[in-house]
């Protein structure tokens, strides 16, 4: 038996050893916690960095050498962003290089943040009408009908942003789309936003912009609420081939009025009905009267908010069906068409689907002018004349004031719209205009009506239909040379259906690429970790 004194010494040593172990464990826990706090801080800085500071924020994250899985998990979580403050803010955003027709152009937007916003909230992106204006509208308190949303934002705690458009930056051009996305990115650094609850809305041209985004560039939106617009407007003016079938990928709440002289509800229904037949989720309300105004807003406000709050983007949707004719409109969620086969469709193998199209019918005649909506009258001041239009043929010029149309004096723009509504295609048109100090008589003819499809099909239509089932992705394509699938997790097996001859390249994304993509979009729902590229080669 050991002496009692030696037992006491050994017992004391054991106690000291245990204490040292606990101290080391505690110190290690503190170090780990400090590292976690530092990484959290770096991720927050990555989301809130201004455009000029994003590269520095990327480097700050990578310098910490974080565990890949841990960082990816953090990027997919909501980030605690301190709000810029409640009320109205007039700000500006710059689209990233290569995303707009004018690199580096700073464009304005209005931001409304409700008081007491402390947690991630839905974001409503309101696109205004009257995009033919020569300058951005920077008046206080938002733009046009967008003001209707702010009392609802206060009550239901969502953020509202109003991108500003003008004739060189409209919703259905590359510049307009780039501006909208740059605005969304800027708002995410200024207020707590739920990345999966971004809803687009707009009135008139803004509503037509909603249709364009839904058919050509739906990311990052969860849904759209177009009010008194028309899907054929961007189909006619964008220069892109648009497809009603693409509306199956994003829900819509469509509002219209029957006696709208620009876009009657019945005319819009012809287009949305085809999308409904294809499986689109579209809710519609139409009021008999109201002309070209959102008379329904007060009665439908509760329904609009319910739609807004109930729609979450399914960024990893199990099924994506997308049609396009160029790479610029080739992306929907995790499916991206990179190259299109211009031949006879021998690549891909999927059968051609019946085209969803609407043949035009005689509608309102158009002069082909842009007008000064702020001009009090009498008459209508011309700010621009469309090439090859009735107005151009008649000799109408910029800064002319149209006083009389076909014998009827015009007090304002509403009288001009009413006069055009009474005219028919092929009719003669007589104008009396004030040009400087002179009064000038002009004459011309409205173009005869020729029926044509609203949605032009000059280029081959590429089809990508991709379905996730368990650990596989079934792919059907037509007219596709290269297809990219963006994947959230370890790539599943890619099963090809009716796609003989495709070569599949699956690779894991570098951590730096993942961080840079997050810095660009600040989108927790699109933190992809791998890509699968499918390539079809033409037969020799």
- HEC states along 239-281? CCCCCHHHHHHCCEEEEEECCCCCCCHHHHHHHHHHHHHCCCC
* DSSP letter, residue 116: T
Which CATH number covers residue 390? 2.30.42.10
Give the model's pLDDT for residue 30.
Answer: 46
Residue 3 has a pLDDT of 53
Give one word for 144, left, alpha or beta, with left for phi > 0 and alpha for psi -120 to 50. Answer: left
Q: Are 475 and 495 in contact (CB under 8 A)?
A: yes
What is the C-alpha separation between 23 and 292, in angstroms, rounded? 73
Can you tell me the distance from the alpha carbon of 476 to that of 537, in angstroms, rounded to the nearest whole number? 15
Secondary structure of 275-337 in the HEC alphabet?
HHHCCCCEEEEEECCCCCCCCCHHHHHHHHHHHHHHCCCCCCCCEEEEEECCHHHCEECCEEE
Within a domain: residue 326? no
- pLDDT, residue 132, reads 83
Run of H or E residues at 441: strand 438-445
Taking the C-alpha atoms of residue 64 and residue 61, their distance in angstroms, rounded to an integer, is 6
Residues 406 and 354 in one domain: no
Provide the token pair at 352.
């051609």
Same domain, 265 and 217: yes
| C-alpha span between 181 and 183 (Å, rounded) | 5
Is residue 325 assigned to a domain?
no
Instruction: Say yes or no: 176 and 232 in one domain.
Output: yes
Let me know whether 513 and 477 are in one domain: yes
Indicate if 215 and 343 belong to the same structural domain.
Answer: no
Residue that finishes a domain, picked among 397, 413, 445: 445
Within a domain: residue 217?
yes
Structure token digits, residue 367: 């002069």
Counted domains in the chain: 4
Q: Which of 487-526 are b and which e, b meaning 16 or more Cβ less than 10 Å from the residue's Cβ?
A: bbeebbebebeebeebebebeebebeebbbbbbebbbbbb
Beta pairing class for 428-435 and 159-163: unpaired
For residue 13, the model assigns a pLDDT of 59
Q: Give residue-wise pLDDT tens across range 439-495.
A: 999 999 998 888 889 999 999 999 999 998 877 888 999 999 999 999 988 766 777
Residues 479 and 415 in one domain: no
Q: What distance in Å separates the CA atoms of residue 272 and residue 285, rounded to the nearest whole number?
A: 12
**Residues of the domain holding 509:** 335-358+454-536
Q: How far apart are the first and last CA of the chain?
A: 92
pLDDT at 147: 80
CB–CB of 244/269 below 8 Å?
no
Task: Say what the pLDDT of residue 26 is.
Answer: 54
Q: What is the pLDDT at residue 18?
A: 61
Question: Do 430 and 488 fall within a single domain?
Answer: no
Burial of 458 per CB tally in 10 Å (0-12, 13-18, 19+): exposed
CA distance 40 to 351: 49
The DSSP element (H or E) to which 420 belongs, if any, is: helix 413-422
For residue 525, being part of any structural domain is answered with: yes
**Angstrom distance (rounded) from CA 5 to CA 285:** 92
Neighbours of 94 (CB within 10 A): 20
Taking CA atoms, 531 is separated from 67, 68, 330, 404, in Å, by 20, 16, 16, 61
* Domain C-terminal end among 54, 75, 96: 75
196-244 tens-digit pLDDT? 999 999 999 999 999 999 999 999 999 999 999 999 999 999 999 999 9
The pTM of this model reads: 0.83
Residues 471, 520 within the same domain: yes
- 269 and 352 fall within a common domain: no
SS3 114: coil
Residue 321 lies in a domain: no
The domain that holds 170 is classified in CATH as 3.40.50.1820
- Count of all residues that appear for the chain in the document: 540
In the structure encoding, which two tokens stand for residue 100, read together? 């707009």
Same domain? For 403 and 499 the reply is no
On whether both 396 and 520 belong to a single domain, the answer is no
Q: In angstroms, rounded to a whole number, what is the distance separating the alpha carbons of residues 293 and 203?
A: 8
Residues 195 and 92 in one domain: yes
What is the C-alpha to C-alpha distance for residues 386 and 233, in angstroms, rounded to an integer?
15
**363 part of a folded domain:** no
Q: Is residue 149 part of a domain?
A: yes
Q: What is the mean pLDDT of each successive set of 10 residues along the chain, which is 540 residues long?
A: 48 59 54 70 95 95 95 93 92 70 75 94 94 81 69 96 92 95 96 97 96 97 97 94 97 96 93 96 96 94 94 88 96 96 67 90 84 88 90 93 93 90 90 92 90 92 89 88 90 69 89 97 95 81
Closest Cα partner for 93 from 153, 132, 50?
Answer: 50
Residue 322 placed within a domain: no
Helix-, strand-, coil-residue percentages of the chain, each rounded to 5: 35, 25, 40
* 48-67 pLDDT tens trace: 999 999 999 999 999 999 99
Tell me which of 445, 462, 496 is where a domain ends. Answer: 445
Token pair listed for 12: 């004391």
How many angstroms separate the CA atoms of 150 and 160, rounded?
Answer: 7
**Cα–Cα separations (whole angstroms), residue 219 to 177, 197, 212, 315, 362:** 10, 11, 12, 9, 34
């Amino acid at each position: 038996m050991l002496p009692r004194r030696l037992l006491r010494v050994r017992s004391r040593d054991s106690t000291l050893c245990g204490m040292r172990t606990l101290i080391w464990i505690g110190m290690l826990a503190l170090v780990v916690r400090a590292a976690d706090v530092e990484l959290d801080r770096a991720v927050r800085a990555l989301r809130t960095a201004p455009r000029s500071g994003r590269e520095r924020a990327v480097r700050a994250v990578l310098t910490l050498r974080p565990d890949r899985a841990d960082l990816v998990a953090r990027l997919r979580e909501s980030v605690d962003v301190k709000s810029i403050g409640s009320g109205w803010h007039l700000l500006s955003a710059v689209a990233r290089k290569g995303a707009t027709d004018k690199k580096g152009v700073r464009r304005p937007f209005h931001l409304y943040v409700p008081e007491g916003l402390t947690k991630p909230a839905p974001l409503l992106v309101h696109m205004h009408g009257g995009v033919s204006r020569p300058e951005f509208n920077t008046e206080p308190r938002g733009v046009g009908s967008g003001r209707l949303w702010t009392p609802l934002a206060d009550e239901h705690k969502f953020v509202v942003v109003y991108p500003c458009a003008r004739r060189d930056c409209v919703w259905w051009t590359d510049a307009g789309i780039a501006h909208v996305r740059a605005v969304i990115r800027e708002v995410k650094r200024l207020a707590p936003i739920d990345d999966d609850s971004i809803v687009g809305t707009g009135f008139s041209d803004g509503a037509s912009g909603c249709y364009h985004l839904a058919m050509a560039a739906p990311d990052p939106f969860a849904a759209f609420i177009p009010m008194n617009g028309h899907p054929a407007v961007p189909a006619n003016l964008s220069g892109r081939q648009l497809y009603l079938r693409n509306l199956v990928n994003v829900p819509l709440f469509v509002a219209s009025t029957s006696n709208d002289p620009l876009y009657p509800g019945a005319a819009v229904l012809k287009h949305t009905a085809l999308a409904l037949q294809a499986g689109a989720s579209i809710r519609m309300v139409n009021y008999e009267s109201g002309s070209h105004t959102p008379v329904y807003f007060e009665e439908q406000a509760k329904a609009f908010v319910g739609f807004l709050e109930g729609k979450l983007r399914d960024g990893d949707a199990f099924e994506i069906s997308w049609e396009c004719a160029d790479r610029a409109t080739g992306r929907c969620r995790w499916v991206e068409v990179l190259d299109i086969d211009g031949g006879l469709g021998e690549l891909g193998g999927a059968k051609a689907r019946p085209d969803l199209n609407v043949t035009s019918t005689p509608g309102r005649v158009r002069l082909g002018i842009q007008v000064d909506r702020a001009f009090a009258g009498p008459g209508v001041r011309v700010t621009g004349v469309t090439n090859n239009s009735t107005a151009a043929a008649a000799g109408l010029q910029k800064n002319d004031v149209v006083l009389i149309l076909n014998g009827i004096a015009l007090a304002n723009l509403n009288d001009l719209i009413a006069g055009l509504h009474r005219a028919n295609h092929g009719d003669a048109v007589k104008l009396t205009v004030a040009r400087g100090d002179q009064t000038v008589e002009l004459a011309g003819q409205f173009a005869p009506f020729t029926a044509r499809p609203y949605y032009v099909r000059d280029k081959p239509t590429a089809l990508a239909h991709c379905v996730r089932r368990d650990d596989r992705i079934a792919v059907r394509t037509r007219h596709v040379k290269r297809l990219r699938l963006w994947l959230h997790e370890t790539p599943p097996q890619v099963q090809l259906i009716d796609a003989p001859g495709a070569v599949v390249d699956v690779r894991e994304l570098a951590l730096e690429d993942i961080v840079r993509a997050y810095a660009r979009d600040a989108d927790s729902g699109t933190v992809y970790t791998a890509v699968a590229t499918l390539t079809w080669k033409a037969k020799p």
